[in-house]
Copies of this chain bind each other. A is one copy, B any other.
Amino acid sequence: MGIRPRIEVDRSSPIPLYFQVAEQIAEAIRTGELAPGDQLDSEVQIAESLGLSRPTVRQAIGHLVDRGMIVRRRGVGTQILPMPVRREMELTSLHDDLARSGRAPATDVLLLARVPAEPEAAAALGLAAGTPVTKVVRLRRSQGEPLAVMRNWLPEPVPPLTEEVLETRGLYEVLRKAGIRICVARQRIGACTADAEQAALLEERRGAALLTMERTAFDDSGRAVEFGSHIYRASRYSLEVTVTEH
């Protein structure tokens, strides 16, 4: 009854089997080999055809359900959902998002210095106000146009962090390469209107709508390792979120 995308698993690969399966199903959805509304083979059938156990296949499908790509119904089967038109918000920097969609990100580093933490940033990082932190202020452009002003605070000094690196790389990429593994982030999204300074930086009129996002990121030891306070031109940018239940 169902459709079975061609999948191959490599048992000698260090990549977990469930992840290989999940990625290949996701790829089949992206390429259109699996269209919205299509019904997948049952978990048991997929497991048999791949020589895997049902829990492994189930774990793979579970990942895609969490990402909102497919839905399961007991007694019925597993079905492909309509693809979102645009990328979802993930734990990647704006830089990566833009680069992936081929929109030529560029960065002006306006500040990179060790400064006493402002009260707001200190509170988010769980530090006392005035504690020395690394502060970064960047203007992000896409295809030449200003897109966002991004302010970040880092509790620890990060040696590889230089103006030159930030001109071409996203902050999260640099942090990952420095061994800082961010695994959870809490974001608050709001809106405001541009004041004179913001308007000048973003080449908007005063009073233009801006999207604001504050983000506190944690590593796997539970420590806050980054706080960001960003403003985006609402006329050029919006955020995508997928929410799932159960």
Interface residues, chain A, with chain B CB atoms under 8 Å away: 36-37, 66, 68, 71-73, 79-82, 84, 86, 88-91, 126, 182-193, 207-211, 218, 220-222, 224, 234, 237-246
Contact B209 A71 (CB under 8 A): no
Known contacts A184-B68, A234-B192, A238-B190, A243 near B209 by CB under 8 Å? no
Question: How far is the CB of A96 from the nearest CB of chain B, in Å?
Answer: 13
Decide if the interface of chain A is mainly helix, strand, loop or mixed.
Answer: strand
Question: Could you say how many copies of this chain the assembly holds?
Answer: 2
Are A189 and B186 in contact (CB-based, < 8 A)? no
Q: A84-B186, A209-B210 are in contact. Are A72 and B242 (CB under 8 A)?
A: no
Question: What residue in chain B is nearest A183 (Cβ atoms)?
Answer: B245
**Interchain CB contact (< 8 A) of A190 among B91, B126, B211:** B211
In the bound assembly, the distance between CA atoms of A221 and B11 in angstroms comes to 34
User: Nearest CB to that of A242 among chain B residues?
Assistant: B186
